[in-house]
Structure 1
Amino acid sequence: MRPMLATPGAHVPPGEEWIHEVKWDGIRLVGESEQGRTQTRLITRNSNDATPAWPEIATGPERDIVVDGEVIALNDSGLPDFRVLMDRMHNRDVRRAARFAERIPATYMVFDLLRLDGRLLIEESWAERRKVLEAVHADGDLGSWQLPATYDDGQMLHEVTRAQGLEGIVSKRRGSRYRPGERSKDWIKLAHRYRASLVVGGWRPEVGTEGGTERLGALLVGQPTPQGLIYRGRVGSGITGKRAQRLGELLRETGRSPFAGPDVDPDGGVPTVDVRGTHWVEPLLVVEVETHGTAVASASYKGRLRQPSFIGIRDDVSPEDL
């Protein structure tokens, strides 16, 4: 079952019909357990089996249950940080996963209940699903999985999470049903720092390595739209060493640019300065990028990212998901 997705928002929705939660900076996974099965299946947003990567989470409840949640790990400052999980999320080797679990322990934050003991709950309201989930937690049936708190005062939570350096908040309608795979306005996400999942359309060599053995130094990334892949900028910060090598292994070069041209979108073409020396690739790989402000929607920057930095590869998301 694919997870329900939140719609980006500009402000905290007011009123008693909304409940508010912390937005965790981690990896979204659906957990599926069955009675008598000792291991929980952990499924990514694009329906890939990620169970081998998370042995400390996969030993979940020994009953029929399907939950939605976020896997998190803490950085040196004690805050959830997606970057800490990057090496773990791509690993499928059992022995290496066990070593990761000791060195970079992860926690599964369960925030929704989709099925319990054969009862499908997705047509129930969020309030009813939460009530049943809290009862399961009170009985100790979630095991090591955590049940994060919810808050009535969204504005307060928004201010506190910003002050504490957390990613943001998610506001949900109490009466909302669960819509697998859909992005719904019944769930609103507000992030304190802007993150974007974008598609790689090309790469440029590191300065000083043109010709001979070229090392990957920057990515050209774009946003999928009905009009094609719209160019959003060049990302070089954060791409070093093993990251550059891993990216190079995953990119498939092609003979032409995958980006939409100016005839499709006045800001969609790749500038000449970014075309020179670029190796075009098939638009198959999704990466996470952090930038200053919501630049993709900024007219003053012509839809370009502002001072972007590479965060990681998103193999749990496909270009079609975007």
Structure 2
Amino acid sequence: MAKRIDVDVHGMPYPNPPMLAVEGELPTGPGWSMEWKWDGFRCCLRVGPNGITKLTSRNGNDLTRSFPDLDGIFADTLGGRVGVLDGEIVVLNETGRPDFGLLQLRHQLRPRRELLQRHPAAFYAFDLLMLGREMLLHEPYERRRELLVGLGPFATARTVITPAYRDVDPQRLLEVAREHHLEGLVAKRVTSHYLPGRRSRDWIKRPLINTLDVVVCGWRPGRGSRAHMVGSLVLGAREKGGRLRLVGDVGSGFTRHTLDDLERLLSRIGRPDSPFTEHVPAEYARETRWVEPLIVGEVAFRSWTREGRMRHVSWRGFRGVAQ
């Protein structure tokens, strides 16, 4: 049974923290739907009664000003109704594929007009959480998808309803994802309800690369033209109980804009000693400038070493600031 949801004084619905998937092997039996895993920013998109759009990140940060080209994209479709959609903000490269590096470039508080025109953003919707002030969280996935698909077709490439596949071999879909350089697959149980802020085995993801949320614990200067600038970051991961564990370092995947932001942030949070309680090996401690463990980011990596360090690591973007 659909339930009503509260809205603010302007009629704008409140955001929902996203439902999260468990990583694992893809199920092969009936009762599952397969969706592509996109290389973008997870986003809760809310539409008010006047068509105004609000964008909220997975961690609750407001992305609206960073992506003004997405304002009002569902206004005509909803026709004055309020709505909440779950999806991803993506930026496509010249081959038509989602490009996380270009998305990082776009992620600025007030992007220039030239940047908006050169790298327009799109919203890839894969779930509908509210429509006309009726909460759909307790509706089964297949019903929510039916309502979502019913919103289209759209007149602009900035709005996309992502495809979903039933009764298809997931291994074949993984091969297609690999061929087209997509991030992987997510399997969703068709009878599942939407569980805000919870990780559930009703959604199972199979990424083609590993990703990890990390905490920046220190930085080392670069070499050559990057001397006296950030060359690499020393990274930790939070374990149960809040303890920081050293997981490696990263020196690739940074844009010029990202490096500028890092230098500005890191200069304010320096500390004289390591934030790790464990002993830090010399190869990580050497030349490292330690910082308070406040900056949260995401990295991609290929595998783990026996020592619990990441291999072939690349920076993917900021996640926010730890509380």
TM-score range, shorter chain: 0.7 to 0.9
- Say yes or no: does 1:156 pair with 2:172: yes
- Partner residue of 2:276? 259
Check the 8 A contact 2:53/2:64 in 1, yes or no.
yes
Distance 1:289 1:144 in 2: 27
When residues 217 and 143 of structure 1 are mapped into structure 2, their CA distance, relative to the original with a 3 A threshold, is closer
Larger helix proportion, structure 1 or 2? 1
> How many residues in Structure 1 have an aligned counterpart in Structure 2?
298
Check the 8 A contact 2:187/2:204 in 1, yes or no.
yes
Local SS of the residue matching 1:314: strand
| Paired letter, 2:119 | I
- Partner residue of 1:3? 18
- Partner residue of 2:91? 73
When residues 191 and 49 of structure 1 are mapped into structure 2, their CA distance, relative to the original with a 3 A threshold, is same
When residues 92 and 208 of structure 1 are mapped into structure 2, their CA distance, relative to the original with a 3 A threshold, is closer
Identity of aligned residues (%): 37
* Aligned with 1:221 (options 235, 243, 247): 235
Distance 1:276 1:52 in 2: 40
Deviations 1:161-216 (A, max 9, x none): 11221111111111111111111111111111222221100111224699xx8222
| Paired letter, 2:95 | S
- Partner residue of 2:146? 131
Residue 301 of structure 1: how far off its partner (Å): 2.7
Structure 2: 5+ residue stretches without partners = 1-15, 76-80
Distance 2:225 2:285 in 1: 17
- Partner residue of 2:133? 118
* Aligned with 1:304 (options 283, 304, 309): 309
Larger strand proportion, structure 1 or 2? 2
When residues 202 and 144 of structure 1 are mapped into structure 2, their CA distance, relative to the original with a 3 A threshold, is closer
When residues 238 and 149 of structure 1 are mapped into structure 2, their CA distance, relative to the original with a 3 A threshold, is closer
Residue 276 of structure 1: how far off its partner (Å): 2.2
The alignment yields a C-alpha RMSD, in angstroms, of 2.3
Runs of 4+ in 1 over 6 A off after TM superposition: none
When residues 115 and 97 of structure 1 are mapped into structure 2, their CA distance, relative to the original with a 3 A threshold, is farther
Distance 1:240 1:8 in 2: 29
| Paired letter, 2:282 | T
* Aligned with 1:287 (options 277, 297, 322): 297
Check the 8 A contact 2:59/2:319 in 1, yes or no.
no
Provide TM-score, normalisation by structure 2: 0.85
Residue 303 of structure 1: how far off its partner (Å): 1.1
Residue 249 of structure 1: how far off its partner (Å): 0.9
* Aligned with 2:282 (options 249, 272, 296): 272
